[in-house]
Amino acid sequence: MRPLAVLALALLAVAVLAGTGSARPQKGCALRRGPGDTLVHSADFQVVNISCEVGWRVALACVRFTYGHAGNCDAAGYRWRCTSARLGLGSTQRCLAGRRSMQIVWLD
């Protein structure tokens, strides 16, 4: 095969693979204890385009939008749109602010 053809195929493969990846990598965060006790009250804590610390501040500031509630919340310098869905005894909370997002599963 000609070197130019090999280069063209390689560039095409890179372009295709780049188009299939997520533009916003999701980051898993360590679970936290409390506040106020030594128990873990959450699972599956994920953030996109923010740090885990900012995500935790959002989760706590916007906790009223869990268990089937939705609304807007100000936290960490941004206005967040939060929604939630019940999961048995727990709840999944999702908050978005532009390209930033936070998701956490509250267990109780």
Between 100 and 2, the higher pLDDT residue: 100
Q: How far apart are CA 94 and CA 106, in angstroms?
A: 11
Name the nearest CA neighbour of 29 among 100, 93, 107, 102.
102
Q: How far apart are CA 9 and CA 39, in angstroms?
A: 54
DSSP state of 18: H
Which pLDDT value is given to residue 91? 94
Which pLDDT value is given to residue 88? 86
**What pLDDT, in 10s, does the model give residues 13-64?**
333 333 334 445 778 999 888 778 888 889 999 999 999 999 999 999 999 9
Mean pLDDT of the chain: 80
Which pLDDT value is given to residue 64? 92
Average pLDDT over residues 84-101: 94
Encoding tokens for residue 4?
């130019």
Between 32 and 72, the higher pLDDT residue: 72
Is residue 81 a contact partner of residue 72, using CB atoms and an 8 Å limit? Answer: yes
Which pLDDT value is given to residue 24? 53
DSSP state of 23: S
Residue-range domain boundaries for the chain: 25-106
Which pLDDT value is given to residue 31? 87
- pTM listed for this prediction: 0.72
Q: How far apart are CA 14 and CA 61, in angstroms?
A: 41
